[in-house]
Structure 1
């Protein structure tokens, strides 16, 4: 049950927590190292295929995440491209991998313990079906979560069974092929192990089990020492059966003198098995969506949430104009948005959310928007924002166009929780009209928007409808790659000087000041200044529109700059730029147990404790190209309080940061260091505000639900504050019917249990991902916490038959044996593809080969495929994917003996075996 192959970095925690992997000693390999190795290898393979298919060479300049992403995005990524999304995606997968140990510590099937082979494979089968369905629906975050859990169970097979003791060096492909039987399993009455008094014998498997190639796994007893007579134990700390004859254990979680060779063999098999699984998912998803699932895309996403009521005609036209401008000016460049998202809202309607990677599709959809009705009433603004926050990738910029207050204000806590969970920024472009202002809007009606914008690191830009086109330049600024925040502050009213550091990696540096009655002076490191009245000065250009002042620097001096801002009204200050030097982070908490570590907190950190963060720093050439000096917490509003954190370097750019004193109220993370490439100091700031809470919520969802079925979620709540009646509010972004208690009576320090049910309608499409937000508020409303969960709706799959390929003919007689004589001669292959027992072939894709692939109608019972290529390209592999994601492969080589191969891409043995099995099927 411990992480594969090591006293590890796995952190176990409470149920609403996900798990971070932080090395704390031990030996051998771990789930994290195995998963990392497999993911990076498969990502590199996929990147190479995509780049070379576009006619370019895949040549990363180094081994860092940043350089891999840069090379993967190809020639269009000629400038700065951030690897932050990729790094975050990896961390999500690692974390969910560890959740299996947390939530299923006693479950044999989740770890292939106690000979639960059929049940374990069932989990893998169900999980892979869920991953493929989620990817089809572009629910990549849900797919990553399930992928992490499935990989854990799959990897455990090689550590907890006797697969490698039987002499196997390749993975057991039947685990990911539910159409193939699990064979030669030891039954419950068959003894499998000899006694090991010392507990760490080299090989306890009985000779007759080895001879007959019987498959077994160790029994694990946490609360009982009982196991079937003669059976192997799992062994190690916590396994009570290991003291019962036959004593000892066969797990290869850790490497010691008795099992070092088996440990290494289990690691290698687990890596290969992980690659098998990833290749299957890649085939079903397609290369581009596989990379999107892994967070490899240009980092900018254009997301519009637009009010479509009658008074918004001009605003809609401006939003349409700016969308067209972004599409037209950035197409084909590194700043071309990786995705476009549109959410309209009115009263009482909102949505649907439209998301696409196709710029022309977005043009078409936004051209359909028309203003109608609802002139005098508040709108469903928060409902539209909720759809955007749950549908857009994490850390997105979302722009809301409206001229009215929100009608659905009961969603404010939900929006606040989603902002903190996704780390996305929400900005509002508000154009209030006098008639609606008189009838339904007071002077403070937009405060909710200001609160949410400030919490997310966004802005509230108030302009007249005539000025809106000028204000939208801020959207052009942020729809770019590698955007970072150098500084962000908010003040109610104050004359204050703000220092900030600019480094040599920064480009396109922009300063935003929002507020009224503002004067400011900007000063560079050399002492040269420019005031707010100099539209074009020595330091930059200043644009003023409505309550927004936008300063675009033309002076790019490195060092400490200062800006003095004076106003008797509230204002915000933000400094941004483009740079690959950035960081990703999570708040974590320690946990004690057999494998102590740190758990990522889903919600606000607990009050009364030091704040701990797991921070991953990215530099221009990896973490080695930056030196971190300070990491701490700083307030955005009010007087600044900076607390230097104690930094523990965990390797690979990961750091554990402990801040003993947490600022009161809302705070952000500030990081300072040195860029060794430019030899200049840098600073970066997180944008999402956070605060502590005395409320704790424990809840977890780690399985899917079928359409029409009711899902029961058990959760519990505790407070370290005053007892009383705490209000409970749960929202989901799909509008599924739910039931839950409206409140819980809490006593200090004691958990109260509750049940929630949610029922997706029977017509819900498979692959739908619902986001549930549980929020709990104290009786006085002074304290608030949340948990954000995801529930996948998956139709039960009964078709596990892969499409079948039969090569009909190969015409390659004219191809020579030697490389110098291959051109311009050609060869040709014909094959028939069928999916007679399944749901029908959906897609056929060329995977290897530089030739041309054509095929007849996919709706035909037999699809005839023809491949033609130069004799210089001697290998072809293409895949057929059916409607539920089963992947069949056609592979053929015309490499001739007696001469060197012309173009041969070597395949691992497991893939050759897979191809042979596939080709041999009738």
Structure 2
């Protein structure tokens, strides 16, 4: 299981990833990204919220990438500052391909910001991205400028009018992806972008927790409640949407509205584009908020707290030792299910209730909770919602200071999940590709529901050529097998990682499932011979008083005519200075020089080629006479010891 790795990662800053449109109309947006990057780095540098890794993925049309990754904030600044806006051609861009590269190249639980002012050309990747979001549990935020749909091209291209229907459909697609990840879709003017980014990146704390999140794709009046415990700090509410009214009631009963937002509970209220931000005093207890809107909106309540949870869907293991196995894809619809919930950040808090809550509705499914100890709980559900849902955990913070406080806490998963009557499974998990050679990946599709023709789609983040059946026919409750053939180009570097996603969609289009595989490119090993060391020179005239003299040697290391090349040369024995360089005009020859004191007369070099073949090369700087003198002295010493009375055996 991955809990240990995730828990260690939670105490470092979240990985930060920017996916940036670099077409001609994005000059203002890129300037804002450059400014906010410097601000983030300066604000978080040296703190526990400093991002553990920085990632940049540019995209335009038809290009996207390459992904650039670094742990050095100054290097990331140079990546960002090298961005420039140019070209663009037609209006739609390769946005989803860029996002796919980010989701596969960034660590899990990353915070991803997508910057664009255009619709996406590669809409066919939407379901693939949702699968990757579910797998990685990364949060994706869309920062959209030019919300009226007029895209400014470069001066030579003039201006173009976007299709209003296309604009609305793409806007909904961005909202769907953000909703699936627990992110937000912020629509602002280009002049407001810097302010909006600055607001959202303030919430990239390593201790950020979600108390409540809800999305409504149509206008709907609704009431929500959320509990705030004493461990929470920096309580903030985000509301995205146009023409959204709210009424907020704090635990003391004070009422606030979007018209009147002054009072004891609200520290500040800010509206930028379609994003309203409310910073609140952290009053412990139950809060209530009512939303009135005739258009789509989202509501998100966050804070900072050490108390949070991790979860995985599990099933009973069929192995000899029993226990549970983690389910890597979607849980099966129509049946019962189990979760493994791990509470982190407190040794005294306990989980009392776990609920599956519909992401876009008010339905929920309750559970029975079984404590395993050590902060782990097995949670059993009789059924799973038929629509997207999130996991809501409530519990008791037994470290509560105030007796007046109940100590009740609640936390919610950011990622929306869904069940499926389908199951896509693969035969192999660790697959190696040889450059230039096709490789077949076998998979199976099973259904517990309807039969018919199931649409298949396979994608990968490196753009490698794929061949797969466009559809498979399954009987109701049946299964079928298929293969995906993938070929890495002959010049693909060794070690290249590929994420392959295989998806099946039911005949009705309302249900789907996926398998995500990670492949590695490795050439076939034909080099079984170690490198060769050739002594070029050895200069030594070491006297008996070794402290006053030095010796040196020069060695040429090669890997033969058919070798893969020398990977490295290191020092196994010896305390001298080692210097390694490439021969001028010949990258296949490695030159090694070594200088040491005569008191350290022996040296061993370890030469390793590109496939791991090893050769140990031994040399000595001691002269023959000094070695003879040393040998005579050693023999004389041993003879003297043997003549001592205590060494005589009677």
Fold shared by both chains (TM-score > 0.5)? yes
Helix, strand or coil at the partner of 2:433: coil
Contact 1:297 1:338 in 2 (8 A): no
Helix, strand or coil at the partner of 1:466: helix
Work out whether 1:636 is the aligned partner of 2:636: no
Counterpart Cα distance in 2 of 1:580 and 1:879: 48
Contact 1:389 1:422 in 2 (8 A): yes
Distance of aligned partners of 1:800 and 1:619 in 2 relative to their CA distance in 1, 3 Å threshold? farther
Helix, strand or coil at the partner of 2:168: coil
Q: Corresponding residue for 1:788? A: 516
Listed one character per residue, the Cα deviations across residues 238-287 of structure 1 (whole Å, up to 9, x for unaligned) are xxxxxxxxxxxxxxxxxxxxxxxxxxxxxxxxxxxxxxxxxxxxxxxxxx
Listed one character per residue, the Cα deviations across residues 527-564 of structure 1 (whole Å, up to 9, x for unaligned) are 234332456642221110111011122x1222222222
Work out whether 1:447 is the aligned partner of 2:172: yes
Larger Rg: 2
Listed one character per residue, the Cα deviations across residues 48-95 of structure 1 (whole Å, up to 9, x for unaligned) are xxxxxxxxxxxxxxxxxxxxxxxxxxxxxxxxxxxxx862459xxxxx
Q: CA deviation at 1:772?
A: 0.6
Q: Corresponding residue for 2:646? A: none
Q: Corresponding residue for 2:383? A: 661
Q: Corresponding residue for 2:150? A: 435
Counterpart Cα distance in 1 of 2:554 and 2:122: 56
Counterpart Cα distance in 1 of 2:576 and 2:367: 58
Q: Corresponding residue for 2:431? A: 703
Counterpart Cα distance in 1 of 2:84 and 2:238: 31
Q: CA deviation at 1:523?
A: 2.7
Counterpart Cα distance in 2 of 1:694 and 1:449: 26
Contact 2:96 2:125 in 1 (8 A): yes
Q: CA deviation at 1:755?
A: 1.4
Contact 2:453 2:471 in 1 (8 A): yes
Contact 1:402 1:431 in 2 (8 A): yes
Contact 1:831 1:866 in 2 (8 A): no
Counterpart Cα distance in 2 of 1:535 and 1:503: 23
Contact 1:718 1:748 in 2 (8 A): no
Counterpart Cα distance in 2 of 1:357 and 1:782: 41
Q: Corresponding residue for 1:493? A: 219
Counterpart Cα distance in 1 of 2:337 and 2:554: 61
Counterpart Cα distance in 1 of 2:444 and 2:335: 21
Cα RMSD after superposing both structures: 3.6
Q: Which of 75, 100, 104 does residue 361 from structure 1 map onto?
A: 75
Q: Going by fraction, where is strand more abundant, 1 or 2?
A: 2
Listed one character per residue, the Cα deviations across residues 288-339 of structure 1 (whole Å, up to 9, x for unaligned) are xxxxxx8587231221111111111111111111112112222222221111
Q: Going by fraction, where is helix more abundant, 1 or 2?
A: 1
Q: Which of 471, 478, 483 does residue 743 from structure 1 map onto?
A: 471
Contact 1:833 1:865 in 2 (8 A): no
Q: Corresponding residue for 1:326? A: 40
Q: CA deviation at 1:673?
A: 1.3
Work out whether 1:683 is the aligned partner of 2:397: no
Q: CA deviation at 1:863?
A: 5.5
Helix, strand or coil at the partner of 2:199: helix
Q: CA deviation at 1:395?
A: 1.3
Contact 1:631 1:645 in 2 (8 A): yes
Unaligned ranges ≥5, structure 1? 1-19, 21-84, 91-293, 810-827, 847-851, 868-877, 890-922
Helix, strand or coil at the partner of 1:351: coil
Work out whether 1:476 is the aligned partner of 2:198: no
Distance of aligned partners of 1:638 and 1:884 in 2 relative to their CA distance in 1, 3 Å threshold? same
Normalised to the residue count of structure 1, the TM-score between the two structures is 0.57
Helix, strand or coil at the partner of 2:125: helix
Work out whether 1:609 is the aligned partner of 2:526: no
Distance of aligned partners of 1:590 and 1:544 in 2 relative to their CA distance in 1, 3 Å threshold? same
Q: Which of 651, 670, 675 does residue 373 from structure 2 map onto?
A: 651
Distance of aligned partners of 1:342 and 1:411 in 2 relative to their CA distance in 1, 3 Å threshold? same
Counterpart Cα distance in 1 of 2:133 and 2:65: 19
Contact 2:457 2:470 in 1 (8 A): yes
Within a 5 Å distance, the mapping from 1:347-496 to structure 2 comes to 347-374=61-88, 376-432=90-146, 433-436=148-151, 438-442=161-165, 444-445=168-169, 446-491=171-216, 492-496=218-222
Aligned length: 568
Work out whether 1:727 is the aligned partner of 2:455: yes
Q: CA deviation at 1:803?
A: 12
Contact 1:720 1:748 in 2 (8 A): yes
Contact 1:803 1:886 in 2 (8 A): no
Counterpart Cα distance in 2 of 1:888 and 1:487: 61
Q: Corresponding residue for 2:350? A: 627
Distance of aligned partners of 1:577 and 1:834 in 2 relative to their CA distance in 1, 3 Å threshold? farther
Contact 1:510 1:552 in 2 (8 A): yes
Q: Corresponding residue for 2:240? A: 514
Listed one character per residue, the Cα deviations across residues 581-625 of structure 1 (whole Å, up to 9, x for unaligned) are 2222111233546444433222211111112112222124xxx33
Counterpart Cα distance in 2 of 1:634 and 1:777: 24
Contact 2:61 2:89 in 1 (8 A): no
* Larger RCO, structure (CA 8 Å, separation 6 or more): 1
Normalised to the residue count of structure 2, the TM-score between the two structures is 0.79
Unaligned ranges ≥5, structure 2? 152-159, 402-406, 534-538, 541-549, 583-589, 598-604, 617-650
Counterpart Cα distance in 1 of 2:202 and 2:569: 38
Within a 5 Å distance, the mapping from 1:743-762 to structure 2 comes to 743-762=471-490
Work out whether 1:504 is the aligned partner of 2:230: yes
Contact 2:133 2:181 in 1 (8 A): yes
Counterpart Cα distance in 2 of 1:572 and 1:684: 17
Distance of aligned partners of 1:315 and 1:687 in 2 relative to their CA distance in 1, 3 Å threshold? same
Q: Corresponding residue for 1:100? A: none
Counterpart Cα distance in 2 of 1:313 and 1:410: 28
Contact 1:842 1:858 in 2 (8 A): no
Distance of aligned partners of 1:659 and 1:474 in 2 relative to their CA distance in 1, 3 Å threshold? farther
Distance of aligned partners of 1:552 and 1:796 in 2 relative to their CA distance in 1, 3 Å threshold? farther
Counterpart Cα distance in 1 of 2:433 and 2:89: 41
Contact 2:530 2:608 in 1 (8 A): no
Contact 2:452 2:507 in 1 (8 A): yes
Counterpart Cα distance in 1 of 2:245 and 2:202: 23
Contact 2:14 2:52 in 1 (8 A): yes
Contact 1:298 1:337 in 2 (8 A): yes
Contact 1:493 1:569 in 2 (8 A): yes
Distance of aligned partners of 1:376 and 1:763 in 2 relative to their CA distance in 1, 3 Å threshold? closer
Q: CA deviation at 1:370?
A: 1.5
Q: CA deviation at 1:474?
A: 3.5
Counterpart Cα distance in 2 of 1:577 and 1:887: 54
Helix, strand or coil at the partner of 1:444: helix
Q: Corresponding residue for 2:635? A: none
Counterpart Cα distance in 1 of 2:607 and 2:295: 63
Helix, strand or coil at the partner of 1:856: strand
